Structure 1
Amino acid sequence: MVFAPTGVDRSPWRLNEARRLVAAMRPAIIRGSIADLTALVNAHVPDYLAWPVPPDASASREVAIATASLAVRVAKSTGSLVVMTGETIAITNGQETWTRNISSGAVRDLIPDLDGAIDAVIGAIASSGVDLASAAVTGVEIFGAAVDAAQSKGPGQFWPTLLDTLAGTNSQTHSASDEEPTPNVHVLESVRIVLRADASLVAPDRLPDIVEQALAGGVTMVELRLDSLPVGRSVVVAREVRARCRLAGVPVVIRGRADIVLASASDGIVTSLEVDDLSPDDAARLVGPDRMIGVEVASVSDAELAKRAGAGYLIVGPMFATGSSGSADGPSGVSLLKRIRTVSPEPLVVGGGMTSARASQFLLAGADGIRVGSAIMHASDPKEATRIFASLWEETHQAP
């Protein structure tokens, strides 16, 4: 069943009834607008997603990511496959997400008069026995093709064009597994401000307290580097940091140590393509497919290799010298970041000598997040230092 809770954002009675029906019937697919579906689960809609969306917002990666993120929240709250319609159509089962951008003019044609058509198309395909995600992806593709074709024909041409499109569609559905999923929304949100908490930078006993202050300032992920500590001590520190991060809902990843990831029940691992490091493939085999895999890269070829090896996100750098490491200067680093962006859809994090004065150029150039070490770890007020980086991220990621 495809359930469409239309108008629930404007009617308390409709909203209560929709929630009751979802709880009672557990619909296989829920399709609705951003406003309707976020009202259904009482989620906040960012101002730049509120209707009407600015005409140029359909090209915005941030709008697509924000829409996908809201759709994931609805899917996890309801247990249904979700199709969220807007400038970006997001399809998600709560684990994987697919998106399709449609021109703003076309979307205004779709809403509200044509919503029933997309529900009918998706429902008809789902009833044929294909998996729900593939049914939704196929339905959206058929619907989008009809919209695109109808716009070139002029007013009043959508319905006959939709029928023509359906008539010309063969029995093959678009398998969701064959589509390129939108980058993992959870990872995209987590990599905004990554604290590289290196035990060699501070006394190990102080590290959990510094992490807690950074969490209060807005850190969205903690990467622990524990090379300087014995294994037993590393596990103790990792467990303490993990406990504090869990309270804040922030993931912890461990640099290079699959054993510590498992012993501390951390959320992922960071590795590289260097011969002395675990390969991304081996790291995934050791820690499991559900954990995050971050891979450090320093070139476009590295990024391509990491992508093929299953990297969940990429750390590009070092952009500036950190201790004895080599570096790319700022402008060269920006150029490298842009080149990697063209070949890799994975979330991109920049790191290496990152300060608040240097971070903006990379965020404006397309970085999804920044990895910060000494600028927070050695700060007199780690909370305030983190807050400055978090504010920079917000300022540079304002939707158009």
Structure 2
Amino acid sequence: MSRPSTVDYTLYLVTDRSLSRGRSTLEVVRSAVSGGVTCVQLREKEASTRTFIEEARAIKVLLDDKGIPLIINDRVDVALAVGAAGVHLGQSDMHIRDARRLLPPEALIGISAESLEDALAAERGGADYIGVSPVFATPTKTDTALPLGLDGVRKIRSAVGIPVVGIGGIGLANAAEVMMAGADGIAVVSAIVAADDPQKAAKALKKKIG
């Protein structure tokens, strides 16, 4: 089976239980998806492996019913355990060649690119999409490189042929600008996860980016 070429990255949710204001990740995802989220990345930095897998399975059932892909952050083992659509890997995570060797051929692999060089290397390595990170300064991750800005998005978009998703400091005020700079989608964390109403937040973002 070949990897899917029609994944909709337009509104890409990245979860973060520390920002969910006491709501479960499943609850936030359900609400966000009902508001128009098109792709979900489950990110769990503190949970045990068993908890991560249990949560991923529950979320996958919800997403499968709606035809939305579940991407697992960092953890190839968790993606394999639950049959997720794929993984998203940072520059210090497992190398894409090793992940590709372990995952089934149809699995998606996204790579975070902190520079044009990262993006070009990811495409050469067989990445399915690139997360341009960070576009703007963001409080949700403290280990990121300096913001690439809209110019960075434009440069990467013009240099690679695979989908490009902007992440980092993106919200209602600047989402449209990121898309106009050439991104195929925006990835958001706090703009949805920490919102009073994740469904309304997702709807507003979806409307903003058309």
Residues 204 and 309 of structure 1: is their aligned pair in 2 closer, same or farther, counting only changes over 3 Å?
A: farther
Is the 8 Å Cα contact of residues 196 and 222 (structure 1) preserved in structure 2?
yes
SS of the aligned residue for 2:15 comes to: strand
Whole-Å Cα distance in 1 between the matches of residues 48 and 138 of structure 2? 24
Alignment of 1:313-392 (within 5 A): 313-323=129-139, 324-326=142-144, 328-329=146-147, 332-392=148-208
Code of the aligned partner of 1:233: T
Give the Å deviation of 1:248. 1.2
Whole-Å Cα distance in 2 between the matches of residues 205 and 235 of structure 1? 18
Whole-Å Cα distance in 2 between the matches of residues 378 and 209 of structure 1? 12
Of 260, 285, 307, the residue aligned with 2:101 is: 285
1:247-301: per-residue Cα shift (whole Å, max 9, x none)?
A: 1110000000011101111110000222xx1111111111222011000001111
Runs of 4+ in 1 over 6 A off after TM superposition: none
Whole-Å Cα distance in 2 between the matches of residues 320 and 334 of structure 1? 8
- In structure 1, the partner of 2:29 is 211
Is the 8 Å Cα contact of residues 312 and 346 (structure 1) preserved in structure 2?
yes
Of 104, 109, 113, the residue aligned with 1:297 is: 113
Is the 8 Å Cα contact of residues 267 and 291 (structure 1) preserved in structure 2?
yes
- In structure 2, the partner of 1:307 is 123
Q: Which structure 1 segments of 5+ residues have no match?
A: 1-93, 97-183, 395-400
Code of the aligned partner of 1:278: M
Alignment of 1:185-196 (within 5 A): 185-187=5-7, 190-196=8-14
Whole-Å Cα distance in 1 between the matches of residues 157 and 138 of structure 2? 24
- In structure 2, the partner of 1:199 is 17
Is the 8 Å Cα contact of residues 273 and 280 (structure 1) preserved in structure 2?
no
Give the Å deviation of 1:325. 4.0
Is the 8 Å Cα contact of residues 131 and 165 (structure 2) preserved in structure 1?
yes
Whole-Å Cα distance in 2 between the matches of residues 281 and 368 of structure 1? 24
Q: How many residues align?
A: 208
Is the 8 Å Cα contact of residues 135 and 152 (structure 2) preserved in structure 1?
no
Whole-Å Cα distance in 2 between the matches of residues 186 and 199 of structure 1? 29
- In structure 1, the partner of 2:48 is 230
Residues 328 and 358 of structure 1: is their aligned pair in 2 closer, same or farther, counting only changes over 3 Å?
A: farther
Q: Bigger relative contact order, structure 1 or 2, given CA contacts below 8 A and separation 6+?
A: 2
Code of the aligned partner of 1:307: E
Q: Which structure 2 segments of 5+ residues have no match?
A: none
Whole-Å Cα distance in 2 between the matches of residues 200 and 268 of structure 1? 23
Give the Å deviation of 1:214. 0.5
- In structure 1, the partner of 2:61 is 243
Code of the aligned partner of 2:45: D
Is the 8 Å Cα contact of residues 320 and 352 (structure 1) preserved in structure 2?
yes
Is the 8 Å Cα contact of residues 272 and 280 (structure 1) preserved in structure 2?
no
Code of the aligned partner of 1:302: D
TM-score (norm 1): 0.50
1:68-112: per-residue Cα shift (whole Å, max 9, x none)?
A: xxxxxxxxxxxxxxxxxxxxxxxxxx958xxxxxxxxxxxxxxxx
Code of the aligned partner of 1:355: G
Whole-Å Cα distance in 2 between the matches of residues 282 and 334 of structure 1? 31
SS of the aligned residue for 2:158 comes to: helix
Is the 8 Å Cα contact of residues 320 and 326 (structure 1) preserved in structure 2?
no
- In structure 1, the partner of 2:74 is 256
1:312-346: per-residue Cα shift (whole Å, max 9, x none)?
A: 000001122223244655xx511111111222000
TM-score (norm 2): 0.92
Query: 360-369 or 202-211, which moves further after superposition?
Result: 202-211
Q: Select the structure of larger CA radius of gyration.
A: 1
SS of the aligned residue for 1:353 comes to: coil
SS of the aligned residue for 2:58 comes to: helix
Give the Å deviation of 1:393. 2.1
CA RMSD of aligned residues (A): 1.9
Is the 8 Å Cα contact of residues 11 and 185 (structure 2) preserved in structure 1?
yes
